[in-house]
Amino acid sequence: MPGLIERYMDRLPFEPGDPIITLDEGSTPLVQAPRLSERVGAEVWLKLEGANPTGSFKDRGMTCAVSAAVRDGARAVICASTGNTAAALAAYAARAGIRGVVIVPEGKIAMGKLAQALMHGAQVVALQGNFDRALELVRKVAARHPIALVNSVNDFRIEGQKTAAYEIAEALGDLDALCIPVGNAGNITAYWRGFREVGLSPRMFGFQAAGAAPLVHGSPVAAPETVASAIRIGNPARWEQAMDAMTSSRGGVDAVSDEQILDAYRFLARDEGVFCEPASAASVAGLLAHGAGGAQRVVCVLTGHGLKDPDTALASVGGVIPCAPELDMIERVIVGQGLS
Ligand code: F0G
């Protein structure tokens, strides 16, 4: 499939002939989740955004933001990030042949994301502060220097990310509810815009990690903390738009504990064959813990791939079984596990 700017140009702020920086993002799988459906008593689908080229939904926004920056003559792009935006920025900047700069909270981003940003040649600044502080600072840097800001405060990001709602509408025709993790609140804003544009109004249920749940408390969180590092955010930039999406769709926002997130994370991997990162599992944890208002057909957005964060995966499961290189030893191990 071509990238999403080409697929949806008539509904995006681009014209034929514009420079397009793409990795053929979008067109991600929407798969049914039979065991999850059984558990919650509804028809549940999973939108696998980890199948995008850099392994997260950020590619949808980044193809638009970087293409627009190149069209405007930018020679550099910058963002604050909990990891995935950094990885996507780095890849699309490399593709465009421009400079990429990312500011990440030191020691608080998953290993895969850091490897991606560095491999793609971005300048990676490890801030001794959290994401919210990083975003404040990059806004100031972008105001003072000729460097394009590509966080989701940039509307091209929202425009690109709304295409996931188009894809769901094309695949299902209609749905009753969407469950989605909320961090900086750009993605829920984008889905709502996309659904409205195609005439749908599913109930929008946003889920935040309990230690980083400003929208649930109704006030910023100074020191957000959660195992789901991607959504470790205390003062979301798209606060009002996210609340509007949830209120006008008759949805809501709720918190899920780290334990609930990790339970959903393991359940998806073991019982549905889908490996997502912890932040993504917040959508399913939320559905399991809080329901989706009695909805019959529900889509959970799995925002990023599980391989992004191997450390959390390995800390969440049992270890390997050491074995001498002999047939009888292997048999003893696997038959002992009840193979025959
Ligand atoms: N899921 C994942 C895997 C994310 O990386 C993010 C955000 C979210 C959910 C929340 O989306 O911010 O639009 O509400 N990650 C950003 C980043 C903040 O820097 O990569 P949101």
Domain ranges of the chain: 4-56+161-315, 58-155
Residue 329 alpha carbon to ligand 1 centre in Å? 46
What is d(CA 303, CA 107) in angstroms, rounded to the nearest whole number?
21
Per-residue model confidence (pLDDT) at position 1: 86
- List phi, psi (to 5°) of 151: -70, 175
Residue 258 alpha carbon to ligand 1 centre in Å? 16
Per-residue model confidence (pLDDT) at position 233: 98
CATH architecture of 58-155: 3-Layer(aba) Sandwich (3.40)
Which residue is associated with the tokens 């500011």?
103
Asked if the domains 4-56+161-315 and 58-155 are classified in one and the same CATH topology, the answer is: yes
DSSP, res 321: -
Stretches where the chain sits below pLDDT 70 are 337-340
What is d(CA 115, CA 170) in angstroms, rounded to the nearest whole number?
35
3-class DSSP assignment, residue 113: helix
Taking domain 4-56+161-315, whether its CATH number is 3.40.47.10 is answered by no
Residue 256 alpha carbon to ligand 1 centre in Å? 16
Burial class (CB in 10 A: 0-12, 13-18, 19+), 293: middle
Across the beta sheet with 297-302, what order do the strands follow?
30-32, 43-48, 297-302, 177-181, 203-209, 252-256
Residues with CB under 6 A from ligand 1: 56, 58, 81-85, 152, 181-187, 230-231, 277, 279-280, 303-304
Are residues 300 and 272 in contact, defined by beta-carbon separation less than 8 angstroms? no
Closest residue (by CA) to atom 19 of ligand 1?
Answer: 81
For the chain, the C-alpha Rg in angstroms (whole number) is 20
In Å, how far from its chain's centre is CA 222? 22
H-only helix segments in the chain:
4-7, 34-40, 58-71, 84-96, 111-119, 131-144, 155-161, 163-172, 186-197, 214-217, 239-248, 258-272, 278-290, 310-316, 327-336
What is d(CA 53, CA 25) in angstroms, rounded to the nearest whole number?
6
Residue 168, number of CB atoms within 10 A of its CB:
25
What is d(CA 240, CA 316) in angstroms, rounded to the nearest whole number?
35
Closest residue (by CA) to atom 15 of ligand 1?
Answer: 230
pLDDT in tens, 143-172: 999 999 999 999 999 999 999 999 999 999
What is d(CA 285, CA 265) in angstroms, rounded to the nearest whole number?
8
Q: Buried b vs exposed e over 178-199: b needs ≥16 C-beta within 10 Å?
A: bbbbbbbbbbbbbbbbbbeeee
Put simply, whether the predicted model's pTM sits higher than 0.75 gets the answer yes
Residues 6+ apart with CB under 8 A from 314: none
The atom number, within ligand 1, closest to the CA of 185 reads: 14
Strand partners of residue 305: 276
End-to-end CA, the chain: 44
Angle between the N-to-C axes of helices 258-272 and 278-290, in degrees from 0 to 180, rounded to the nearest 10: 100
What is d(CA 217, CA 138) in angstroms, rounded to the nearest whole number?
26
